[in-house]
Structure 1
Amino acid sequence: MVDVLVIGGGNAALCAALMAREAGASVMLLESSPKEWRGGNSQHTRNLRCMHDFPEDVLVDAYTEEEYWQDLLKVTGGNTNEALARLVIRASADCRPWMRKHGVRFQPPLSGALHVARTNAFFMGGGKALVNAYYRSAETLGVHIRYETPVDRVELDGDRFVAAYSGEERFEARTCVLASGGFESNREWLREAWGQNELGEWPADNFLIRGTRFNQGVLLRALLNAGADSIGDPSQSHCVAIDARSPLYDGGICTRIDCVSLGIVVNRNAQRFYDEGEDFWPKRYAIWGRLVAQQAGQIGYSIIDSKAVGRFMPPVFPGAKANTLEELASQLQLPEAQLVETVNRYNAACKEGTFDHTLLDNCHTENLQPPKTHWARPIDSPPYYGYALRPGITFTYLGLKVNDRAQVHFGGQASPNLFTAGEMMAGNVLGKGYTAGVGMSIGTAFGRIAGVEAARASLQIRNEHA
Structure 2
Amino acid sequence: MYDVLVIGGGNAALCAALMAREAGASVLMLEASPKEWRGGNSQHTRNLRCMHDAPQDVLVEAYPEEEFWQDLLKVTGGETNEYLARLIIRASSNCRGWMRSHGVRFQPSLSGALHTARTNAFFMGGGKALINAYYRSAEKLGVKVRYETPVATMELDGDRFVAAITEGGERFTAKTCVIASGGFESNRAWLREAWGRNDLGEWPADNFLIRGTRYNQGALLKEMMKAGADTIGDPSQGHCVAIDARAPLYDGGICTRIDCVSLGVVVNKHGERFYDEGEDFWPKRYAIWGRLVAQQPGQIGYSIIDRKVIGRFMPPVFPGVTAATLPELAAKLGLPVDSFMRSLDAYNAACKPGSFNHTILDDCRTEGIQPAKTHWALPIDAPPFYAYALRPGITFTYLSLKVDETAAVRFADRASPNLFVAGEMMAGNVLGKGYTAGVGMSIGTAFGRIAGTSAAAAAQGRSLMRGKNYGRH
TM over 0.5: yes
State how far apart, in whole Å, the 1-side matches of 2:63 and 2:217 are: 36
Instruction: Give 3-state SS (helix, strand or coil) of 2:277's partner.
Output: coil
Instruction: Give 3-state SS (helix, strand or coil) of 2:302's partner.
Output: strand
> Do residues 10 (structure 1) and 10 (structure 2) align?
yes
> Do residues 30 (structure 1) and 25 (structure 2) align?
no
Shift of 1:112: 4.3
Offset from partner CA, 1:195-214 (integer Å, 9 cap, x none):
00011000000000000000
The letter for the 1-side match of 2:270 is: N
2:112 and 2:314 in contact (8 A); partners too? no
State how far apart, in whole Å, the 2-side matches of 1:251 and 1:331 are: 25
TM-score with structure 1 setting the length: 0.98
Shift of 1:165: 0.5
Instruction: Give 3-state SS (helix, strand or coil) of 2:246's partner.
Output: coil
State how far apart, in whole Å, the 1-side matches of 2:194 and 2:109 are: 39
Instruction: Give 3-state SS (helix, strand or coil) of 1:365's partner.
Output: coil
TM-score with structure 2 setting the length: 0.97
Instruction: Give 3-state SS (helix, strand or coil) of 2:391's partner.
Output: strand
> Do residues 387 (structure 1) and 361 (structure 2) align?
no
Instruction: Give 3-state SS (helix, strand or coil) of 2:54's partner.
Output: coil
Superposition pairs for residues 194-213 of structure 1, below 5 Å?
Answer: 194-213=195-214
Shift of 1:339: 1.1
Instruction: Give 3-state SS (helix, strand or coil) of 1:432's partner.
Output: coil
The letter for the 1-side match of 2:325 is: T
The letter for the 1-side match of 2:68 is: Y
State how far apart, in whole Å, the 2-side matches of 1:174 and 1:120 are: 37
State how far apart, in whole Å, the 2-side matches of 1:255 and 1:144 are: 34
Offset from partner CA, 1:270-308 (integer Å, 9 cap, x none):
000000000000000000000000000000000000001
Q: Identity of aligned pairs, percent? A: 78
> Which residue in 2 is equivalent to 1:52?
52
> Which residue in 2 is equivalent to 1:118?
118
* Residue ranges of structure 2 left out of the alignment (5+ in a row): 464-473
2:176 and 2:419 in contact (8 A); partners too? yes
1:113 and 1:358 in contact (8 A); partners too? no
Shift of 1:115: 1.4
Offset from partner CA, 1:331-358 (integer Å, 9 cap, x none):
1110111111111100111112110000
- May I ask how many residue pairs the two structures share in their alignment? 462
Offset from partner CA, 1:403-458 (integer Å, 9 cap, x none):
00000000110101000000000000000000000000000000000000000000
> Which residue in 1 is equivalent to 2:165?
165
Shift of 1:113: 4.9
Shift of 1:368: 1.0
> Which residue in 2 is equivalent to 1:282?
283
Shift of 1:461: 7.8
State how far apart, in whole Å, the 1-side matches of 2:109 and 2:263 are: 24
Structure 1 vs Structure 2 CA RMSD: 0.9
Instruction: Give 3-state SS (helix, strand or coil) of 2:151's partner.
Output: coil
State how far apart, in whole Å, the 1-side matches of 2:150 and 2:353 are: 56
Shift of 1:362: 0.6
Instruction: Give 3-state SS (helix, strand or coil) of 1:168's partner.
Output: coil
> Which residue in 1 is equivalent to 2:177?
176
2:306 and 2:384 in contact (8 A); partners too? yes
The letter for the 1-side match of 2:442 is: S
> Which residue in 1 is equivalent to 2:234?
233
State how far apart, in whole Å, the 2-side matches of 1:181 and 1:109 are: 27
> Which residue in 2 is equivalent to 1:299?
300
The letter for the 1-side match of 2:41 is: N
State how far apart, in whole Å, the 1-side matches of 2:353 and 2:438 are: 32
State how far apart, in whole Å, the 1-side matches of 2:122 and 2:357 are: 24
Instruction: Give 3-state SS (helix, strand or coil) of 1:19's partner.
Output: helix
Shift of 1:168: 1.3
State how far apart, in whole Å, the 1-side matches of 2:251 and 2:427 are: 20
Shift of 1:53: 0.2
> Which residue in 1 is equivalent to 2:470?
none
Q: Say which is worse superposed, 108-117 or 156-165, in terms of deviation.
A: 108-117
Instruction: Give 3-state SS (helix, strand or coil) of 1:351's partner.
Output: coil
Instruction: Give 3-state SS (helix, strand or coil) of 2:460's partner.
Output: helix
Superposition pairs for residues 228-267 of structure 1, below 5 Å?
Answer: 228-267=229-268
Offset from partner CA, 1:20-65 (integer Å, 9 cap, x none):
0000000000000000000000000000000000001110000000
State how far apart, in whole Å, the 2-side matches of 1:110 and 1:136 are: 26
1:174 and 1:461 in contact (8 A); partners too? no
